[in-house]
Amino acid sequence: MLLRDVLLLDSSMESALACDLAISGSVIDSILPPRSAEGPADFDGKGAVAVLPGFVNAHAHAAMTLLRGLGEEAPLMEWLRERIWPVEARLTPEQVFWGTRLALLEMVSSGVTCFADMYFFMDQVAEASLQAGVRCALSRGLVGADEGKIQEGVDLIRRYHNLSGLISVQLGPHAIYTVPPEAFREICRTAKDSGVGIHTHWLETEWEAEYIRQQLKKDPVDLLAEVGLHEVPFAILAHGVWFPEDRVRDLAKTRLSVVHNPNSNLKLGSGIAPLPSFLEANVRVALGTDGAASNNRLDVWDEMRTCSLLHKGIRRDPSIVRALEVLRMATVDGARALGFENVGLLKPGWQADLVLVDLQKPHYVGTTPENLCASLVYSGSSADVAGTIVAGEWLYREGVHLKLEEETILRKAAACRKELLQE
Ligand SMILES: [Zn+2]
């Protein structure tokens, strides 16, 4: 496959590069001077289309699209206990399948090529992702100390881990306030023995930080080691909002990554994570949307813009959380956080997971190769996505989904929601 005359940009480049991009199978083959490649092109950008690594949504609960709008404006613990959990207890595998496909429509059209999902009925999530051709890191959300559920997580590893190169599986203890420390330790031990990562929520709310200190009588940073999170191959810590500033360095040079979910944290009134401190300490940070019931979008562009602006305002410093750092969080550091190798940069031999962005829009007049990254982060939006490619395969092109039947999914998902909420 050949993409002719496009502007290439990844987070290792200060300036975009005009080029022809050749893809062979699932990987990037070569990067050539613009209009120099021989043979017919699959796509001609005419110098006005940017090609970036696809976005990684590193923390999601995809099928929560069916719960979007539930418990609006309630704080997290009330929102979970009174509005979300009772409905989730009624979810069926079929509903999770269609809810996930609904999420995939939204993610693929906004340039997401990879996502981390923690939910239930993960076989359905795996099948939905495989059919859509989207890269996915799956974990069955584990609550309580139920051995049977840990076994479900282990079965998922056996069935789907590394399947077709698109899927990886983690174990997913929901959080330290829903999984007792001893059970959490057991899950980490199982992950270590199985050679897989962990995906969990950590320090999302002040209530959780207090729960750890008062009820568990532990320090929330020391507890990471006590439950075994430093011993697993890698761990995805969603949120980290209440991570103490003076302990941020403890995360540097570890196999733990923090997923920053600024819009979900703002909407639930949970607080604002110390992102500038994480970045200063070289802690790996990825970006996520969280579920559609707490965001309510599944749009990584929106997370990029929010996080880049939010922390500048709080610190009163426009030089921090730079556009290039934000792009790194949304792409290669997201992929690394999820344990995917050779994903997230535009280099020969790396996976051809790409998003194409149409620069023929009013808000891109004046965009140059030198300012493209800032232009995308501060001016761009998901409405500019002209194409999405995963492992060398087109999933979305000029407004049309090629692997998802949009009309059927909208109809089925609406019916599932009606049935679920008894609306
Ligand atoms: Zn979450």
The token duo for 224 is 């990471």
Segment 194-220 shows an average pLDDT of: 97
Segment 394-399 shows an average pLDDT of: 97
Segment 24-50 shows an average pLDDT of: 97
Task: Delimit the CATH 2.30.40.10 region(s) of the chain.
Answer: 2-53+349-401
Nearest to 332 by CA among 45, 99, 11: 11
Distance 61 CA to ligand 1 centre (A): 6
Distance 239 CA to ligand 1 centre (A): 8
Distance 101 CA to ligand 1 centre (A): 18
Task: Give DSSP secondary structure letters for 289-356.
Answer: ---GGGSS---HHHHHHHHHHHHHHHHT-TTSS-HHHHHHHHTHHHHHHTT-SS-SS--TTSB--EEE
CATH of domain 2-53+349-401: 2.30.40.10
Distance 221 CA to ligand 1 centre (A): 19
Q: State the residue for tokens 């006590």.
A: 226
Distance 318 CA to ligand 1 centre (A): 29
Task: Delimit the CATH 3.20.20.140 region(s) of the chain.
Answer: 55-337
Distance 97 CA to ligand 1 centre (A): 18
pLDDT 10s digits, 129-140: 999 999 999 999
* pLDDT recorded at residue 254: 96
Distance 342 CA to ligand 1 centre (A): 26
Amino acid at 423: E
> How far, in Å, are 50, 150, 187, 202, 283 from residue 141 at the CA level?
37, 9, 12, 14, 25
| Cβ neighbours, 10 Å, residue 24 | 13
Distance 75 CA to ligand 1 centre (A): 14
Distance 125 CA to ligand 1 centre (A): 16
Task: Give DSSP secondary structure letters for 316-327.
Answer: T-TTSS-HHHHH
* pLDDT recorded at residue 146: 79
Segment 389-407 shows an average pLDDT of: 98
Nearest to 96 by CA among 53, 137, 63, 123: 63
Nearest to 385 by CA among 110, 134, 114, 113: 110
* pLDDT recorded at residue 74: 86
Distance 412 CA to ligand 1 centre (A): 25
423, pLDDT greater than 90 = no
DSSP 8-state code for residue 54: P
Rounded to two decimals, the pTM is 0.97
Q: Parallel, antiparallel, or unpaired: how do β-strands 285-287 and 354-358 relate?
A: unpaired
Q: How far apart are CA 169 and CA 162, in angstroms?
A: 8
Distance 256 CA to ligand 1 centre (A): 17
pLDDT 10s digits, 344-364: 999 999 999 999 999 999 999
**Residue 148 — pLDDT band, cuts 50, 70, 90?**
confident
* pLDDT recorded at residue 362: 98
Distance 95 CA to ligand 1 centre (A): 19
342, pLDDT greater than 80 = yes
> How far, in Å, are 135, 192, 253 from residue 230 at the CA level?
25, 10, 11
The token duo for 135 is 């890269």
Distance 375 CA to ligand 1 centre (A): 29
- DSSP-based three-state secondary structure for 71: coil
Burial class (CB in 10 A: 0-12, 13-18, 19+), 379: middle
Nearest to 202 by CA among 239, 173, 170: 239
Name the CATH topology of 55-337. Answer: TIM Barrel (3.20.20)
Q: Parallel, antiparallel, or unpaired: how do β-strands 135-142 and 167-173 relate?
A: parallel
Helix orientation angle between 406-421 and 93-109, rounded to the nearest 10 degrees? 130
Segment 259-273 shows an average pLDDT of: 96
Q: State the residue for tokens 């996080």.
A: 307
Distance 226 CA to ligand 1 centre (A): 22
Distance 155 CA to ligand 1 centre (A): 22
Give Cβ neighbours of residue 361 (< 8 Å, ≥ 6 apart). Answer: 384
Distance 290 CA to ligand 1 centre (A): 5
